[in-house]
Amino acid sequence: MDEKKVEGAAAAAPRQKEAGLWDRIEDKFVETFSSPKLAIFTFIILAILSIFGTVVEQNREPAMYIAQYGEKWYGIIRALGLTDIFHAWYFTLMIILLSVNLSVCFFRRLPPKWRLIKDKTVVMAEDAILRQKNSVRLNHNVSIQHMKDAISTLLKKKRYNVLIEEKGSGISIFARKGGIGRIGSDITHVGLLIIFLGAIIGSFFGFKGFATILEGETKHFQQGGFDLRVDKFWIEYYDDYKIKHFFSALTVLENGKEVMKKTIEVNDPLKYKGIWFYQSSYGQAWDRVEKARFFLTDKKTKGLVAEVIADFGVETPVPKTDIKIKVIGFAADFYYDTESKQIFSKSMEHNNPAIQIEIYEKGVLKSSPWLFAKYPEAFIDKSTKYFIEIGGYKAPQWTGLSIANDPGVNVVWVGSTLLTVGLFLSFFVIHKRIWIKIVDKKDKVDIYVGGNANKDKINFDKDFSNLIDELNRIGK
């Protein structure tokens, strides 16, 4: 028998050791992932990433980033995922980490709170009652039953849930209300978790983007399997020429057929197949012109020879000369990259507009110079006897549309509702508990009253004082 006991003890030892190790791992996990420091850390990281997401415009076309930052920095920004930061893996990871933190906090703190809410400890010893935050001892020359009925009626008028237990020569009363307020913070946590869930759903199954579409242009959206055409864009002004509103008349097409039309403005989007199109911005094209005016003067006499308006991409004869001009390029904010040997607009603003033309003389291409609107003498073409100067140009107008498809938006609304409810319960619903013991002393009764509240102690002190005043009046 002794040998069997030893063998059993030896076999049980590894299991106890294993169980102890698992408990330590579980405790460490709970301690780590319920830490307020972890929550603060993830909030700070999310805040920093959100700042980057605000500074760097999201989901824009590559040309815009190249124009604004240059090819080198665009490559870095794209590699870091800063052009779509709210769908980047590290942003999603931070949301998941914060969600785990909130979940562990929720499951760690809810059980003891729930036990307090469901507590029905009616009978409490006199000395325990007097140890409560608020307590008092009274005595009245009335019957114990009369006092019980009066106290019960009074507490019910104050909307307390009243429990009564009679035992021996004493009657115990327990009153409570506002217990749900204890879990307001937990409901807030659940609301945040649901909001994060909606954000993750939107991150994996939805998309956000931005599109610049020229007036009259049609763009295909593969996500919805339809085309969108901008029929017209226009701006309304106040009397002092400040912008009042701007609008885009849009048409949705499927298989070449018009299926929907709507004029959108700020805060009045178009929605089709779950995809929202918001009026976001507008501007003039930075990489093309519709037509341009040129002045030609004689290099020797300095006299004006001719004026001509040329459409983009069309060879246009210049009156009184034997040359033709063809507009082939445009940069709203001219920039020459010495490394890549490329020319592009470094911004979307028309800060340094330049137009590239081809000059034909008797059908032969003579040169293809860049002309600068603000600096006409920056480049003087030597292939002809004429000095060519830009007299103006018309760039097509584009409308900027923010595009969003978020299947998690309804989940976010549910979470936001719970978040609001949780905050309301946390700030405005107080868990109040009162214990009363009435002890029969033959010709009189002793009354022990004690209570506490989980928050707003100042107001509870007033409520408790009022309750005592009313109990004193019952005995008179």
**Domain residues of the chain, as ranges?**
15-114, 135-178+430-474, 187-283+399-421, 291-395
| pLDDT score, position 19 | 52
pLDDT in tens, 281-293: 888 888 889 999 9
Distance (Å, whole) CA 476 – CA 473? 5
Average pLDDT score over the chain? 88
Distance (Å, whole) CA 455 – CA 426? 9
Task: Report residue 330 CA to chain centroid gap.
Answer: 38
| Residue corresponding to tokens 């470094």 | 346
- Residue 419 has which token pair? 């978040």
pLDDT in tens, 404-441: 888 888 999 999 999 999 999 999 999 999 999 999 88
| pLDDT score, position 330 | 95
| pLDDT score, position 13 | 47
- Residue 171 has which token pair? 């009657």
- Residue 193 has which token pair? 């978790």
At the fourth CATH level, which superfamily is domain 135-178+430-474? Kinase associated domain 1, KA1 (3.30.310.80)
- Residue 410 has which token pair? 């309804």
Side-chain half-sphere exposure of 133, counting CA atoms within 13 A: 16
Residues 109/125, Cβ–Cβ less than 8 Å = no
Distance (Å, whole) CA 99 – CA 92? 10
| pLDDT score, position 3 | 46
Residues 358/345, Cβ–Cβ less than 8 Å = no
Please state at what angle helix 184-205 crosses helix 409-428, rounded to 10 degrees.
170
Q: Measure the N-to-C terminal CA separation of the chain; round to a whole number of Å.
A: 77
Cα angle vertex 463, ends 457, 466, to 5°? 145
SS3 476: coil
Q: Where are the beta strands (DSSP E) in 312-351?
A: 316-317, 323-331, 334-337, 342-345
Q: List, edge to edge, every strand of the sheet that includes 397-405.
A: 207-214, 397-405, 275-284, 270-272
Ranges of residues in the chain with a pLDDT under 70 are: 1-19, 63, 475-476
Residues 307/294, Cβ–Cβ less than 8 Å = yes
| pLDDT score, position 382 | 86
Nearest CA to 453 among 420, 428, 416, 419?
A: 428
Q: How buried is 363 (Cβ within 10 angstroms: 0-12 exposed, 13-18 middle, 19+ buried)?
A: exposed
Please state at what angle helix 184-205 crosses helix 89-118, rounded to 10 degrees.
150
DSSP-assigned states of every residue in 159-190:
T-EEEEEEETTEEEEEEEE-GGGGGHHHHHHH
| pLDDT score, position 48 | 92
pTM (whole model) above 0.75: no
CB atoms within 10 A of CB 465: 12
Helix, strand and coil percent figures for the chain, each rounded to 5: 40, 35, 25
CB atoms within 10 A of CB 225: 10
The pair phi, psi for residue 80, each rounded to 5°, is -80, -5
| Residue corresponding to tokens 């002793």 | 446
- Residue 146 has which token pair? 């009369």
- Residue 129 has which token pair? 């009652």
The pair phi, psi for residue 144, each rounded to 5°, is -65, -35
Cα angle vertex 373, ends 311, 71, to 5°? 90
| pLDDT score, position 7 | 45
